Amino acid sequence: MGILRTGTTSAAVRIQVSRTGRPALQSPIKAPRIKPAGLPIELPLDQILLGDCVAALEALPPASIDLVFADPPYNLQLGGDLRRPDDSLVDAVDDDWDKFSSFAEYDAFTRAWLAECRRVLKPDGALWVIGSYHNIFRVGSILQDLGFWVLNDIVWRKANPMPNFRGRRFTNAHETLIWAARGEASKYTFHYEALKGGNDDLQMRSDWYLPLCTGEERLKDGAGAKIHPTQKPEALLARVMLSASNPGDVILDPFFGTGTTGAVA
């Protein structure tokens, strides 16, 4: 989990953190000082907190976060290896952090982290969450049940999506983001004019055409393998933050992954 301030010059360390708190890269845990009541004396700004995201969220003070960006496990439910027509193996998501025994287990996990995100958000705060057809409808239903107020759904149209190798379904060429205020009465941030100014003076639409993370931006290990299967492009996070945050805002990413949120903030 990462807690960042927008507009800061410090570069966030990029570490993959799993749902169960198993980091892909060995790094010491940065633990905030804890009050007797169980809450930190100070919000651990510009830090990466390693561990179970729900437990880490529970240790944060209420109404302390301006914006949440969440890229949770998608619960892809892969039944086995995914192969190309030439029988080569596709580097698909088969990590333990994306495996749940049932929809009920996934829903309980989703409800737990979303409830904590709502608790730590300021009254006028907002949340962005990204997902695919595997999970986004369940996530959306739960966040509405918890009192979030949906403002928009955004379709990220991928310029270079992975093809459907089996030819039995449409090419899955998009992911969906939900933008929601903490509550119906929240006076959320939205930089309409800035977005319009960067879009040939046209209103920014809810379908965003952006490429997958490739080239030098894609983080790899010493052997040239991707260190995370679903690294998000910085251009996507930049548009989210430009639209919904102000300089100096505190941004929380419960699933920090490769640290794209920190790099962009």
Q: pLDDT tens digits, residue range 186-239?
A: 999 999 999 999 999 999 999 999 999 888 888 788 888 777 777 899 999 999
3-class DSSP state of 213: coil
- Claim: this prediction has a pTM higher than 0.85: no
pLDDT of residue 88: 58
- Is residue 226 situated within a structural domain? yes
Binned at pLDDT 50, 70 and 90, residue 19 comes out as very low
Rounded average pLDDT over 75-103: 62
- Is residue 86 situated within a structural domain? no
pLDDT: which is higher, 75 or 89: 75
The domain spanning residue 172 has which CATH number? Answer: 3.40.50.150
- Is residue 138 situated within a structural domain? yes
The closest of 124, 115, 116 to 147, measured between CA atoms, is: 115
Binned at pLDDT 50, 70 and 90, residue 56 comes out as very high
- Is residue 146 situated within a structural domain? yes
DSSP assignment string, the chain:
-EEEETT--PPPP-----TTS--SS--------B-TTSSBSS--TTEE--S-HHHHHHTSPTT-EEEEEE---------S--B-TTSPBP-----GGG--S-HHHHHHHHHHHHHHHHHHEEEEEEEEEEE-TTTHHHHHHHHHHTT-EEEEEEEEEESSPPP-TTSSS----EEEEEEEESSTT------HHHHHHTTTTSPPPSEEEEPPS-GGGS-B-TTS-BS-TTPPPHHHHHHHHHHH--TT-EEEESS-TT-HHHHH-
- Is residue 143 situated within a structural domain? yes
- Is residue 108 situated within a structural domain? yes
- Is residue 84 situated within a structural domain? no
For residues 33 and 91, the answer to whether their CB atoms sit within 8 Å is no
- Is residue 38 situated within a structural domain? yes
Domains of the chain: total: 1
Residue range of the domain that includes 22: 2-78+91-264
| pLDDT surpassing 70 at residue 163 | yes
- Max mean pLDDT among 57-61, 124-128, 223-227 falls in 124-128
